[in-house]
C-alpha cells in the first residue's frame, strides 16, 4: 500500500484552478494584515463558530491510500456553515471569476469532508471577501445538500486520480531505488560516515544539528545521502538543500546526478530566481503582456505530469518543459513544490519574511528537513533579509508622474517624512530609535492600497514605470519587516545630501530570533560548514536552541599537507598600513617566489590590494586582479584559468566570491596568502552591532568583529587542500596572529610556524 498525503489547498488547486496568471489580486501586502483580517471576521462570528477547523479524509484507490487534510477557516455547527475567508485590497467585484471559483471550490471541499465526518444533511458554503482597507465584507453563499457535496468531492477526486496514480508510481520507484542505494562515492571517506550518522539521527529525532568539518571532506554527499534514505523509511516527507551561493547549488545538483547514476529515481527540483529564468523579461506577469501567463493554468496539468515524469529538474529541465507546454518556467517551478521530494534552493525560500518553502511546511503540515550548506553565511544574509530602507528622493521621483490617487497617498507620506526631519535628532546627521511612528505605517499602507487599485486597472504599470514598482516593493518589504519589530531592531534616520536626502532604515541587529522561527517550521535542521567556530557563537547566530547537537569533526588530512607560515612582524591595521607596506610587499614576493603553481593572495580592500600590488613583481607568471562589480562571466573565466594554467597569481578580496565556495583541487591551486585578519570595517552600523552583542552576550567585539573576521580567514585557508593527495602552502600576514585570541580561532588541523 502506497500512502500519499495532500492538503485541501493543493488538491483544489490541481483540480479547479483555471485561466491566467494574475498577481494583481494578492490578498494582503503583509502576512500580519491577512491574519488580522481573519481575526476581524472571527470577532464578528457567534460563540458556536469554530475557527481553523481541522479536517481529514482517507480514500482508497486500489493499492493507493490518499490522505486529504487541511483546516477550514471556519465551521459553525449550530447554523450549518462552512466558511472560507480571503482578504483583499480591491473591490471584490473586480476579482476575476476564476479566482473566486477556485476559493469556493476549496470551501466546498472542506464542507464535503465535514458533512461526512459530522453526518449532516446540508451545509451553507460561504466565501467571504474582506476589504481590509474599508473593513467591508462581501459574501458569496451556496447551500449544498450532503448529496451535492458528495458528488462534488467525488468529481474532484476523480479528476485527481490520474495524477495520484502518477505520484504513487513515482513514490514506489523512489522507495525501491532508495532501499538499495549505495553511497555515491563507494566507500565513505574518513569523517563522512560520522556526518551521515549524525544527520540520520537528527532526522529521526526531528532535531537541530550543527556540524563543522574541513573543506574538501565531502559534506554535501555525506549529508544528502542519509537524508534521502530517511525518506524511504518515512522519517520525514521532503528534503530542502539550502545554499547561499550558486556554487553550492551546483554541488548539490552534481551530487544528485551521482546518486541518479547509482540508481536513484526521484523527482527533485532546483529553483532559479525569477529574473534569471523569465521567458519574457520586462513584461508583466499577466495575460495581457506575457503569452506564458495567458491560459497558464489551463496547460499546467500536462506540464506538471511531464515534470514529475522527467524526475531531475534542474534549471535546464524546467525551461525545456516550460517551453514545450508554453507555460511560465518560474511559476511552473513554484507549482511543482508540493509534488517533488527534494528541492535545491537559495536560503531566501526558507528564511526570508515571505519563505515559500517555509510556509509550505507550516501551512500544509509537511515534514521538511533542511540541509543548510555553508551555514556560516546564513546570519549575515538573514540580517540583510530582515532589514529595509526607504529613500525620500525615490518617493519624490515616483510622485511626479503618478496618477492622482497614488500622488495623494505619496503626498501624505512625504508630509510624514518632513515631520520626522523636523523632530529633534540625537545627532545632526542621524538618529536611532527603538520605536516606530504609527503614522508612518498608515501612510505607507495608503500608498500600497492606491497602487493596488491602479494595478487592477493597469496590469503593466510597473513595466511602464519601473521606479514605481521598485518603490512599491520596497514599501511592502518595509511593512513586512515592521511586523517583526523588537529590541533586536533599530529604526535609523539619516539626513543625507540635499533637501530630498532623507533615508529611513529598519536595521536588524540580530537575526537569531527570526531564524529560530524559520527552524520551528521544519521537521529537522542540519547546518554544516568548515567554519562554525566557536560553536556557542554560531549556534546562537543560527537561531538554534540550547539542545542543538554541535560537533566539530577531526580532519581526514595530514597536518603537513598544508604548510602554514605566520608573519606577525607586519602591522596591517589601517593606521599602520602606509608604514608597513614595503615590508608586506617583500614578504608576499618572497613567498610567491618560493611557491610553485597557482596562488591566490587575499586582501581586505581593493585600495590596499592595489597599493601592495604596485610594489610586487610577479615576474613571468600570469596576473589576475579582482575588480569591483565583477560579473558572472568574469568569475567563470578566472575559474577556467585555474584549470588551464599552472603559473597564475590572482589577487582577490577576502570574504568575496573567491574567498569561499570555489573548489580547485590538485594543481589548480597550490597556495593562498591572507593579508590581515578579516575584521569587518569599523563604521556606524558595525558599532551598533558591537554595542548590541555586548549588552546581550557580554562579547561585543568578538561577536561583531573577531569571529566573523577570522571566519573569512579560515575559509580562505580551506581553498588549498581538497583531497587526500593535495599539498600546498599558506601565508598569513598580520601582527595579531601572534595573539592567542586570534591563533585559537585558526583551523586546528594544520601546523603553524613563524
List all residues 6 or more positions away from 424 whose beta carbon is below 8 Å from its beta carbon: none
What's the DSSP call for residue 42?
H
Mean pLDDT of the chain: 93
**Residue 495 banded pLDDT, cuts 50, 70, 90:** very high
C-beta of residue 542 within 8 angstroms of C-beta of residue 516: no
> Strands (DSSP E) along 531-686, which ranges?
549-552, 562-567, 599-603, 622-625, 648-653, 671-675
Output the nine-digit C-alpha cell for 336: 511543482
User: Using CA atoms, how far apart are residues 505 and 516, in angstroms rounded to an integer?
Assistant: 23
Q: How many CA atoms lie within 13 A of 531 on its CB side?
A: 23
Instruction: Determine the average pLDDT of the residues in 112-117.
Output: 97
Please give the C-alpha separations between residue 404 and each of 29, 175, 442, 454, 708, in angstroms, as whole numbers.
21, 60, 18, 10, 49
Q: Is pLDDT at 439 greater than 60 in this prediction?
A: yes
Looking at the chain, the whole-number percentage of residues with pLDDT higher than 70 is 99
Q: At what angle do helices 535-542 and 512-520 cross, to 10 degrees?
A: 70
Report the alpha-carbon distance of residue 127 to residue 627 in Å, rounded.
57
Give pLDDT tens digits for 375-417. 999 999 999 999 999 999 999 999 998 999 999 999 999 999 9
Rama region for 429: left / alpha / beta (φ>0; ψ in -120 to 50; rest): alpha
- Provide mean pLDDT across the span 114-124: 97
pLDDT at residue number 29: 53
Calculate mean pLDDT across residues 549-569: 94
pLDDT for res 89 = 77
Tell me the whole-structure pTM to 2 decimals.
0.92
The C-alpha cell that represents 716 in the structure block = 580562505
Region of poorest pLDDT, from 71-85, 90-104, 600-614? 90-104
pLDDT class of 153 with cuts at 50, 70, 90? very high
Q: Is residue 305 over pLDDT 90? A: yes
d(CA 266, CA 243): 21
Q: Find out whether 462 and 469 touch, Cβ atoms under 8 Å.
A: yes
C-alpha cell at 614: 604596485
Residue 185 is predicted with a pLDDT of 84
Euclidean distance between CA atoms 483 and 408, whole angstroms:
25
Closest CA to 484 of 456, 514, 462: 514
What is the distance between the alpha carbons of residues 539 and 519, in angstroms, rounded to a whole number?
A: 12
pLDDT reading at 311 higher than 90: no
Residues in the chain: 754
Q: Is the peptide bond prior to 322 cis by the omega test (within 30 degrees of 0)? A: no
Give which of 548, 613, 551, 618 is closest to 585, Cα–Cα. 613
**Whether the predicted pLDDT of 474 surpasses 80:** yes
pLDDT confidence of residue 24: 67
- Alpha-carbon dihedral sign for residues 329, 334, 335, 336: positive
Cα 200 to Cα 227: distance, rounded to the nearest angstrom: 6
Range from 130-139, 374-383, 398-407, 728-737 carrying the lowest mean pLDDT: 130-139
Spatial distance between the Cα atoms of 411 and 236, rounded to a whole number of angstroms: 52
Confidence label for 744 from pLDDT (cuts 50, 70 and 90)? very high
Burial class from Cβ neighbours inside 10 Å (0-12, 13-18, 19+) for residue 161 reads middle
What is the structure's pLDDT at 27? 52
Backbone angles phi and psi of 724, in degrees to 5:
-65, -15
pLDDT at 323 over 70: yes
Place of cell 542621524: 430
Give the strands of the sheet with 622-625, arranged side by side.
622-625, 648-653, 599-603, 671-675, 728-733, 562-567, 751-753
* Rg of the chain over all Cα atoms, to the nearest angstrom: 28
Q: With 70 as the cut, is the pLDDT of residue 553 above it? A: yes
- Structure-block grid coordinates of residue 514: 527570526
Chain segment 691-707, per-residue pLDDT in tens: 999 999 999 999 999 99
CA distance 630 to 323: 31
Contacts of 207 by beta carbon, 8 Å cutoff, 6+ apart: 524, 525, 547, 548, 549
Dihedral sign, Cα of residue 118, residue 123, residue 127, residue 128 = negative
- Residue 319 φ/ψ, nearest 5 degrees: -65, -40
Query: Which pLDDT value is given to residue 508?
Result: 97
All residues at 6 or more sequence positions from 150 whose CB lies less than 8 Å from its CB, including other chains: 112, 115, 116
Strands 599-603 and 312-313: unpaired
Strand partners, 124: 81, 143
Amino acid at each position: 500500500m502506497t500512502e500519499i498525503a495532500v492538503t485541501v489547498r493543493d488538491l483544489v488547486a490541481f483540480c479547479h484552478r483555471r485561466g491566467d496568471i494574475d498577481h494583481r489580486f494578492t490578498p494582503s501586502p503583509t502576512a500580519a494584515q491577512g491574519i488580522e483580517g481573519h481575526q476581524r471576521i472571527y470577532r464578528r462570528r457567534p460563540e458556536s463558530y469554530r475557527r481553523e477547523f481541522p479536517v481529514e479524509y482517507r480514500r482508497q484507490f486500489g493499492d493507493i491510500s490518499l490522505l486529504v487534510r487541511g483546516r477550514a477557516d471556519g465551521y459553525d455547527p449550530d447554523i450549518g456553515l462552512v466558511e472560507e475567508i480571503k482578504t483583499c485590497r480591491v473591490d471584490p467585484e473586480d476579482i476575476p471569476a476564476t479566482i473566486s471559483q477556485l476559493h469556493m471550490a476549496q470551501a466546498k471541499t472542506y464542507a464535503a469532508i465535514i458533512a461526512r465526518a459530522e453526518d449532516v444533511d446540508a451545509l451553507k458554503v460561504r466565501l467571504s471577501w474582506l476589504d481590509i482597507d474599508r473593513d467591508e465584507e462581501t459574501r458569496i453563499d451556496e447551500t449544498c445538500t450532503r448529496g451535492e457535496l458528495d458528488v462534488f468531492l467525488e468529481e474532484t477526486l476523480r479528476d485527481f486520480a490520474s495524477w495520484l496514480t502518477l505520484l504513487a508510481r513515482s513514490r514506489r520507484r523512489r522507495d525501491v531505488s532508495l532501499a538499495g542505494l549505495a553511497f555515491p562515492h563507494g566507500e565513505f571517506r574518513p569523517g563522512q560516515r560520522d556526518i551521515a550518522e549524525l544527520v540520520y539521527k537528527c532526522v529521526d529525532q526531528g532535531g537541530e544539528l550543527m556540524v563543522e568539518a574541513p573543506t574538501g571532506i565531502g559534506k554535501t554527499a555525506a549529508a544528502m545521502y542519509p537524508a534521502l534514505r530517511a525518506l524511504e523509511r518515512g522519517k520525514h516527507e521532503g528534503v530542502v538543500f539550502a545554499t547561499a551561493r550558486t556554487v553550492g547549488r551546483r554541488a548539490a545538483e552534481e551530487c544528485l546526478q551521482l546518486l541518479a547514476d547509482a540508481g536513484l529515481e526521484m523527482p527533485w527540483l532546483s529553483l532559479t530566481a525569477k529574473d534569471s529564468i523569465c521567458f519574457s523579461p520586462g513584461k508583466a506577469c499577466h495575460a495581457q503582456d506575457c503569452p506564458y501567463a495567458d491560459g497558464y493554468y489551463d496547460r499546467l496539468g500536462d506540464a506538471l505530469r511531464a515534470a514529475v515524469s522527467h524526475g531531475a529538474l534542474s534549471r535546464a529541465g524546467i525551461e525545456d518543459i516550460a517551453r514545450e507546454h508554453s507555460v511560465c518556467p518560474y511559476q511552473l517551478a513554484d507549482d511543482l513544490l508540493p509534488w517533488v521530494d527534494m528541492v535545491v534552493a537559495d536560503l531566501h525560500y526558507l528564511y526570508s519574511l515571505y519563505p515559500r518553502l517555509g510556509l509550505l511546511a507550516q501551512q500544509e503540515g509537511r515534514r521538511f528537513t533542511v540541509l543548510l550548506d555553508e551555514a556560516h553565511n546564513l546570519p549575515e544574509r538573514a540580517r540583510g533579509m530582515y532589514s529595509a530602507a526607504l529613500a525620500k528622493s525615490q518617493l519624490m521621483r515616483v510622485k511626479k508622474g503618478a496618477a492622482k490617487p497614488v500622488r495623494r497617498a505619496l503626498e501624505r507620506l512625504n508630509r510624514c517624512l518632513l515631520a520626522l526631519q523636523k523632530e529633534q535628532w540625537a545627532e545632526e546627521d542621524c538618529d536611532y530609535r527603538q520605536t516606530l511612528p504609527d503614522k508612518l505605517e498608515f501612510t505607507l499602507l495608503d500608498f500600497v492600497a492606491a497602487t493596488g487599485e491602479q494595478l487592477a486597472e493597469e496590469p503593466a504599470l510597473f513595466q511602464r514605470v519601473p521606479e514605481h514598482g521598485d518603490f512599491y516593493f520596497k514599501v511592502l518589504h518595509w511593512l513586512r519587516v515592521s511586523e517583526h519589530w523588537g529590541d533586536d531592531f533599530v529604526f535609523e534616520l539619516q539626513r543625507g545630501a540635499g533637501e530630498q536626502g532623507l533615508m529611513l532604515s529598519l536595521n536588524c541587529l540580530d537575526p537569531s530570533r527570526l531564524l529560530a522561527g524559520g527552524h520551528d517550521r521544519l521537521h529537522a535542521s542540519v547546518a554544516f560548514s568548515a567554519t562554525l567556530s566557536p560553536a556557542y557563537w554560531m549556534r546562537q547566530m543560527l537561531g538554534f536552541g540550547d539542545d542543538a547537537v554541535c560537533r566539530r569533526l577531526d580532519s581526514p588530512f595530514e597536518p603537513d599537507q598544508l604548510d602554514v607560515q605566520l608573519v606577525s612582524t607586519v602591522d596591517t591595521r589601517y593606521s599602520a598600513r602606509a608604514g608597513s607596506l614595503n615590508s608586506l610587499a617583500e614578504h608576499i614576493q618572497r613567498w610567491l617566489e618560493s611557491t610553485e603553481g597557482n596562488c591566490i593572495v587575499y586582501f581586505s580592500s581593493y585600495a590596499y590590494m592595489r597599493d601592495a600590488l604596485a610594489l610586487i613583481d610577479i615576474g613571468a607568471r600570469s596576473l589576475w586582479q579582482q575588480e569591483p562589480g565583477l560579473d558572472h562571466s568574469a568569475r567563470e573565466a578566472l575559474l577556467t584559468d585555474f584549470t588551464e594554467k599552472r603559473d597564475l597569481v590572482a589577487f582577490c578580496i577576502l570574504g568575496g566570491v573567491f574567498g569561499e565556495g570555489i573548489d580547485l583541487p590538485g594543481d589548480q591551486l597550490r597556495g593562498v596568502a591572507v593579508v590581515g585578519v578579516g575584521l569587518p570595517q569599523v563604521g556606524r552600523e558595525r558599532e551598533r552591532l558591537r554595542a548590541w552583542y555586548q549588552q546581550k552576550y557580554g562579547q561585543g567585539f568578538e561577536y561583531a568583529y573577531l569571529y566573523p573576521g577570522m571566519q573569512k580567514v579560515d575559509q580562505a585557508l580551506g581553498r588549498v587542500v581538497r583531497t587526500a593527495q593535495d599539498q600546498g602552502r599558506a601565508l598569513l600576514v598580520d601582527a595579531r596572529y601572534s595573539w592567542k585570541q586570534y591563533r585559537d580561532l585558526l583551523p586546528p588541523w594544520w601546523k603553524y610556524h613563524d
